[in-house]
């Protein structure tokens, strides 16, 4: 049977480093508050005067991943693009990425599952490979948050956590009898909790896409988040969805070499580690440098974990896990071939 094997990874962040001290210039916040509550020290933002979209960041990450796999864009038979911040409302960012890669007929699929976009993406890639629909898939997570954040004190709880960035993986269907590749995935959504993290406008449900008389700095143009509610839900659901995948794959937590969680808040991931009684080296953090890059966060962490030789040897098992807007949550178990 075909197994879905990650051949390579790539990443890209825009050149502007925004430190917590830089944010102090726009809003009433402090380096101390941000570090204590989130673990974040800096994040990267696109040039605020330019026109960089999610597909531009994705292009750079995709080229790095494809070079590393020895693939060209012509080798791809499917592109999956996970983002909550597509270049424009439609068409999807995958269309723009494919065009930038010089392609004119390769199928693309945008996934709008926010922080779990990569988890939904890898599960989709696995299904395409196992059903024979595709052999060589590029999966990208890419976000440009900075152009849509409320940079006044009103938006400080959200704005300090998000960063721009992209990461990509090349996934190939490989015939092998070994237990390898994507072992299992567990995905969930509870749309009853959608209001906990949302950007409401513009919205097709309103005439002209804006409620009449709405000013351009209306809070509904920006992400609004009930941070404490999401925090509590994450701490409860992440261990649960990890156990769900472990049970499905019939392996134990002790078999996992590295947990690579969505980087939403260092405290969430530390609480997860404590709850599972994990040794510190078994859970990966890089939120300090990048903030929360949403759909890019898990593949970006995977890329760095492989580069730092924390994971990637044949037979090692990684567990990807996350929860975010939707609310959506999930976990994926992956064994390196």
Catalytically annotated residues: 115, 262, 292
Residue 86 vs 324, nearer CB to ligand UT7: 324
Separation between Cα atoms, residue 267 and residue 280, nearest integer Å = 13
Over the range 260-273, which residues count as b (16 or more CB within 10 Å of their CB) and which as e?
Answer: bbbbbbbbbbebbb
Residue keyed to tokens 């890419």: 142
- Smallest distance from the beta carbon of 325 to ligand UT7, in angstroms? 6
Residue 76 vs 161, nearer CB to ligand UT7: 161
Instruction: Please tell me whether residue 143 adopts helix, strand or coil conformation.
Output: strand
- Smallest distance from the beta carbon of 261 to ligand UT7, in angstroms? 11
Residue 52 vs 270, nearer CB to ligand UT7: 270
Q: What is the distance of C-alpha 322 from the center of its chain?
A: 9
Local structure of residue 208 (DSSP, 8 states): G
Instruction: Please tell me whether residue 104 adopts helix, strand or coil conformation.
Output: coil
Q: Which of 271, 268, 265, 248 is nearest to 319 (CA)?
A: 248
**Which residue number places its CB atom closest to ligand UT7?**
227
Structure tokens at 110: 């945008």
Residue keyed to tokens 């999807």: 92
Residue 86 vs 173, nearer CB to ligand UT7: 86
- Smallest distance from the beta carbon of 319 to ligand UT7, in angstroms? 18
- Smallest distance from the beta carbon of 166 to ligand UT7, in angstroms? 16
- Smallest distance from the beta carbon of 23 to ligand UT7, in angstroms? 8
Structure tokens at 295: 């759909």
Q: Which contiguous run of DSSP H or E holds residue 21?
A: helix 20-24
Q: List CB contacts of 254: < 8 A, sequence separation 6 or more.
A: none
Question: Residue numbers of the site for ligand UT7 (CB under 6 A)?
Answer: 29, 33-34, 37-38, 115, 156-157, 160-161, 197, 227-228, 230-231, 234, 264-265, 268, 292, 324-325
Separation between Cα atoms, residue 161 and residue 176, nearest integer Å = 42
């Amino acid at each position: 049977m075909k197994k879905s094997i990650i051949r390579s990874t790539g990443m890209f962040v825009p050149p502007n480093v925004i430190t917590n001290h830089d944010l102090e210039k726009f809003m009433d916040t402090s380096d101390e508050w941000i570090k204590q509550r989130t673990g974040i020290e800096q994040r990267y933002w696109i040039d605020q005067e330019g026109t960089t979209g999610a597909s531009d960041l994705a292009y750079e990450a995709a080229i790095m991943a494809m070079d590393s796999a020895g693939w060209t864009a012509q080798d791809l038979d499917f592109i999956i693009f996970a983002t909550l911040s597509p270049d424009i409302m439609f068409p999807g960012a995958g269309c723009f990425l494919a065009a930038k890669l010089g392609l004119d007929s390769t199928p693309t699929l945008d996934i709008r599952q926010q922080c779990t976009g990569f988890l939904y993406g890898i599960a989709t890639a696995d299904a395409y490979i196992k059903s024979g629909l595709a052999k060589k898939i590029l999966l990208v997570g890419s976000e440009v948050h900075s152009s849509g954040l409320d940079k006044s004190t009103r938006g400080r709880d959200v704005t300090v956590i998000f960063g721009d960035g992209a990461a990509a993986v090349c996934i190939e269907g490989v015939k092998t009898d070994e237990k390898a590749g994507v072992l299992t995935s567990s995905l969930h959504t509870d749309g009853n909790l959608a209001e906990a993290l949302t950007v409401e406008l513009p919205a097709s449900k309103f005439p002209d896409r804006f409620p009449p008389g709405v000013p351009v700095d209306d809070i509904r143009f920006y992400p609004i988040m009930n941070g404490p509610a999401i925090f509590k839900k994450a701490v409860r659901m992440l261990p649960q969805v990890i156990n769900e995948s472990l049970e499905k794959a019939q392996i134990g937590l002790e078999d996992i070499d590295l947990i690579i969680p969505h980087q939403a808040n260092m405290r969430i991931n530390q609480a997860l580690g404590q709850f599972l009684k994990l040794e510190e080296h078994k859970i990966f953090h890089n939120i300090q440098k990048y903030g929360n890059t949403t759909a890019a966060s898990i593949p970006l962490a995977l890329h760095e974990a492989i580069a730092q030789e924390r994971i990637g040897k044949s037979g090692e098992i990684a567990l990807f896990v996350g929860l975010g807007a939707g609310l959506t949550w999930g976990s994926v178990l992956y064994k390196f071939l």
